[in-house]
Amino acid sequence: MIDILVGSQMGAAEYVAEQVAETLVQAGYEATLHLKPELDHLNPSGVWLVITSTYGAGDLPDNIQPFADQLAQDRRDLTTLSYAVITLGDSAYDTFCDAGRKLATLLSAKGAVSLISALEIDAQHSALPEDTALAWLPKLIEVLA
């Protein structure tokens, strides 16, 4: 079971998450999208895939900020959790992909283990974000297998 935590301000990260979830299901995994993730509704011993855009000055999108606040304030140990991060951003800004980095830092501070290097998708490149994510996904699937 893979919990996909989505942070999307304008819809791009949500679309990427839907495409990734569909591909994971086709690969035989159970994947659940969380468009408004809540810490108490997630498996602390499972796999979390965070897919978020970076908004404003390196901020988290409105729909995932409450989750980040819960995570920061919560005292639970997440050493049994594995995670991966996909972040959408624009390298024209010095806060490129900061939202994903912030969430990865929070998860790591709770003891969660990163499965694979984060994917940072740059809006400056011509490839569609979902195509970039789907090209990266086999690396994650290989680690999960």
* pLDDT range class, residue 120, cuts 50, 70, 90: very high
**Rounded Cα gap, residues 74 and 55, in angstroms:** 24
Q: What are phi and psi of 144, to 5 degrees?
A: -70, -30
Q: What is the pTM of this model?
A: 0.95
Token output for 23: 């591909």
Does residue 113 surpass a pLDDT of 80? Answer: yes
The closest of 39, 40, 46 to 103, measured between CA atoms, is: 39
Residue 56, pLDDT score? 84
Q: What is the pLDDT of residues 6-35, one digit of tens each?
A: 999 888 999 999 999 999 999 999 999 999
Token output for 85: 């991060």
Residue 3's Cβ-count burial label (10 Å; 0-12, 13-18, 19+) is buried
How many Cα neighbours within 13 Å face the side chain of 9?
14
Q: What is the pLDDT of residues 40-91, one digit of tens each?
A: 999 999 999 999 999 888 899 999 999 999 999 998 899 999 999 999 999 9
